[in-house]
Chains A and B, each alone.
Chain A
Amino acid sequence: MDNQSQKSKRQETLKKNYNRFKQSKIGMTGLIIVIIFGFLALLQPFLFLTGIWDYKTYDPVVGYDAQPYLAEIVECPKEYPTERYEERKDCPGKGEITLISIKPYKPDAKVGDKIERFLQPAPPSSKHILGTDSLGRDIFSQLMEGSQVAFVLGLLSATLSVFISTILGSIAAYFGGFVDAYLMRQSDLLLMLPSLPLLFIISAFTELQVYHLALVLGVLGGFGGSVITIKSQALQVKVKPFVDSARITGGSRMNILFNHILPNVAPLALLFMVFGVTGAIASESVLSFLGLLNIDMSWGLMISVSQADGYINQGLEYWWLVVPAGLAVTLLAGGFYLVGRGLDDVFNPRLRRR
């Protein structure tokens, strides 16, 4: 009876909170976005495991699929316009390739020859719904892989950060005095440091993989600004009569800290965690865009690759190399933020509508 009614009580509270959350359009929008990306993250291994996709074609890192086509070898004239080309940028046109670029590979090529080329990057088709990149890899598969990375990184670093900052904030609030002062100054110091340049420097010293990055982000976040906010929340709990009551009854400091203060600070910590994911995803995409992350595939890397190959400069002609990845980062990071805003409505009674 004990456990059952306890469970049902928790379910009731959960249900009530969920209903409140449902009321917030912002929160629901965010939740839907997060769920979609979560689905995407899980979809990829599902597709591989059930054999719908085969690794050779669809693997995001080493897959390869490109349509062959015949390209005509041409030589670009020095002056424009000519009868074949209007402007300099029209040469080489679609299905054409310049003699100069082929010569190193096929010394005996001549202008007018037809040569087999492979279309990579390929625009979206029925086989590859978001097309392929310059290495013939399926973009959609890469997107899903990037989703996995984003979730893992985001949740890991946010959880670690929240864990640390909650404990530190509660300790600072409860013990006060020197401990409090020290933790606050430490937090100030970390707040001062610009996080991205710091990450650049760290990446110069050690090789950053996803888990390392999660650790670094978690620790930086944990010792940083959120400690102050959690501390203020913990301070509010500390002066509540039930804490006095526990002290009068004879509870030890540790006892009160773990049984009373921490559980009541938890909702706020949860909120921070959600916002932390946003920051983590954004940081990761910047770092991998700049090539500072040792990672096989992520959204930032997708954009980085297309930038390195010069496709971004082509304007929107090769949009599928840039837009999906960029949109994904924005949407998922934003989605988590919206969920956080929706949760804020749930946990902060003053913001609640009836």
Chain B
Amino acid sequence: MKKNVIEIENLKTYFDVSKGLFKAGKHVIKAVDDISFEIAQGKSLGLVGQSGCGKTTTARSITMLEEKTDGNIKFFDESQNSMTSIDDLSEEQIKNFRRNVQMIFQDPYEAMNPRWTIKDTILEPLIIHNIGTDKDQEEAVIEILKTVGLTPPENYLNRYPHELSGGQRQRVAIARALIMKPKFVICDEPTSMLDVSIRISIMDLMVSLAKDLNVSYLYITHDLAVARYMCDRIAVMYNGKIVELADTEELLKNPVHPYTKRLISSIPVPDPTYERKVYEITKHDLEDIENLSNNKDELYDIGNKHYVSTHKIKGLI
């Protein structure tokens, strides 16, 4: 029975942007509007959607950078051998949570303190959590640099971020995220700012590290092709909600939700002889989906671990 590393239940994160002293609640942005998913240990889930759909807010809610409005985020607690909600965590458990949940950001340059050396950046997690002696820490840094392909490590320890290329910086970010051997890493578009020829090497690195360290990823991206390369399952997000969730190849071969179909068909194909036909969403299709289920709050199971959302979605046509 595969264990889950994280379970999200009905997560809602709303932002109240109403102006005026007495108008609280009048204008609310529902960035994340009731989403649920789970990720098994060692597996990766791709969260795909266009900008503004709520995927980054989801990541920030899970890592507690933003306060969620409602819903449950459950994380696997080893000491109790069960899933514990992050609301119930004690001080000690929060520290444990921080050790096990890390994030890799989109802009590798902005994700490092420009006045810190590479060594400082990678050491920071160990220092915060007081892991190991000075000598142990130095050895750990050298080891992880080798693992992410920055060799010889001594060349990189005392460099500054602006001296490295984009690909090298992102490797440092991966090193820093993985030095404490976390269980779960959220990757927020880590390759979108890198050159095309370098992206693959970074993605391959992440895939192999996931296998070696048994890490699970939540991979956020707007590029379905990249998600296909990296993830076992894919969730498609639109306007704060998940519209479809399935295994990667299943989703690409049999997309059900009109938005997914539209998304897939809009992606340019690197083959000049390929005739791409864009799928246009019709009102009829939307109604068909809505009629699949009476329960509008949950994702409808059409079998084969393939889920579709049946609630009314505005703004698609």
**A binding-site residues for B, Cβ under 8 Å:** 1-2, 5-6, 9, 13, 240-242, 244-252, 255, 259-260, 263-264
In-complex Cβ contact of A245 among B111, B114, B160 (8 A): B111
Q: Do the beta carbons of A264 and B115 come within 8 Å of each other?
A: yes
Kindly identify, within residues 128 to 149 of chain B, every residue whose CB is under 8 Å from any CB belonging to chain A: 128-129
The smallest beta-carbon distance between A178 and chain B, in angstroms, is 16
Given contacts A246-B128, A248-B98, A259-B113, 4 further A-B contacts (CB under 8 A): A9-B159, A242-B113, A248-B101, A250-B125
Q: Least Cβ distance of A260 to chain B in Å?
A: 6
Which 5 pairs between the two chains have the least Cβ-Cβ distance?
Answer: A250-B98, A241-B111, A241-B105, A249-B125, A5-B158
Q: Are A250 and B129 also in contact (CB < 8 A) when A241-B107, A264-B113 are? A: yes
Q: Which residues of chain A have C-beta atoms less than 8 A from B60's C-beta?
A: 244
Report B216 CB to chain A, min CB distance, Å: 16
B121 neighbours in A (Cβ, 8 Å) = 242
Q: How far is the CA of A250 from the CA of B121 in the complex (A)?
A: 14
A-B contact count (CB 8 A): 62
Contact A248 B103 (CB under 8 A): yes
How far apart are the CA atoms of A251 and B98 in the complex, in Å? 9
Chain B residues within 8 Å of A255, by CB = 128
Docked-complex contact A242 and B112, CB < 8 angstroms: yes
Given contacts A241-B107, A244-B65, A244-B105, contact A251 B128 (CB under 8 A): yes
Assuming A9-B159, A241-B110, is B115 touching A248 (CB within 8 A)? no
Q: Is the CB of B115 within 8 A of A245?
A: no
Convert B49-71 into 0s and 1s, putting 1 for each residue whose CB lies closer than 8 angstroms to a CB of A. 00000000000100101000000
Give the distance to chain B from A250, nearest Cβ to Cβ, in Å.
3
Q: Taking the complex as formed, is B250 at the interface, i.e. its CB lies under 8 A from any CB of chain A?
A: no
**Residues of A close to B191: CB separation below 8 A:** none
Distance in Å from the Cβ of B312 to the closest Cβ of chain A? 34
- Rounded to whole Å, the gap between the CB of B292 and the closest CB of chain A is 38
Chain B positions near chain A (C-beta within 8 angstroms) = 60, 63, 65, 95, 98-99, 101-103, 105-107, 110-115, 117, 121, 124-125, 128-129, 154, 157-160, 176
Residues of B within 8 A of A6 (CB): 117, 158
Question: B110 to chain A: which residues have CB within 8 Å?
Answer: 240-242
Complex Cα spacing A9 to B114, Å = 13
B124 near A246 (CB under 8 angstroms)? yes
Q: Closest CB of chain A to B226's CB: distance in Å?
A: 20
Take A9-B158, A9-B160 as given contacts and tell me if A248 and B65 are in contact as well, using a CB distance cutoff of 8 Å: yes
A265 to B110, CA, bound (A): 15
A85–B109 CA distance with the chains assembled, in angstroms: 82
Closest Cβ–Cβ distance, residue B92 to chain A (whole Å) = 12
Q: Which residues of A contact B176 (CB under 8 A)?
A: 245
Cα A242 to Cα B111 with chains together (Å): 4
Once bound together, how far apart are the Cα atoms of A246 and B65, in whole Å?
11
Residue of A nearest to B114 (CB): A264
Query: Please, how many angstroms separate the alpha-carbon atoms of A158 and B99 in the complex?
Result: 43
Contacts of B154 in A (CB 8 A): 1
Q: How far apart are B225's CB and chain A's nearest CB, in angstroms?
A: 25
What residues on A are CB-neighbors of B159 within 8 Å?
9
- Cα–Cα distance between A250 and B182 once the two chains are bound (Å): 13
Residues from chain B with a CB closer than 8 A to the CB of A246 are 124, 128
> Whole-angstrom distance from the CB of A222 to the nearest CB of chain B?
23
Which B residues touch A247, using CB under 8 A?
Answer: 65
A residues within 8 A CB of B125? Answer: 249-250
CA distance A264 to B107 in the complex (A): 18
Give B144 Cβ to nearest chain A Cβ, in Å. Answer: 14
Q: Which residues from B are CB-within-8-Å of A250?
A: 95, 98-99, 125, 128-129
Cβ–Cβ < 8 Å partners of A263 in chain B: 113, 115
CA distance A244 to B64 in the complex (A): 10
Q: How far is the CB of B167 from chain A (nearest CB, A)?
A: 17
Q: Which residues of A contact B158 (CB under 8 A)?
A: 2, 5-6, 9
* A5 to B125 CA separation, bound complex (whole angstroms): 24
- The docked-state distance in angstroms from the alpha carbon of A240 to that of B154 is 28
Q: Can you show 20 pairs from A to B with CB atoms below 8 A apart?
A: A1-B154, A2-B157, A6-B158, A9-B158, A240-B110, A241-B106, A241-B107, A241-B111, A242-B113, A244-B103, A244-B105, A246-B128, A248-B65, A248-B98, A249-B124, A249-B125, A250-B128, A251-B124, A251-B128, A255-B128
Residue of A nearest to B98 (CB): A250
B63, B107, B112: the one within 8 Å of A248 (CB): B63
Which residues of the partner chain B approach A259 to less than 8 Å between Cβ atoms?
Answer: 113
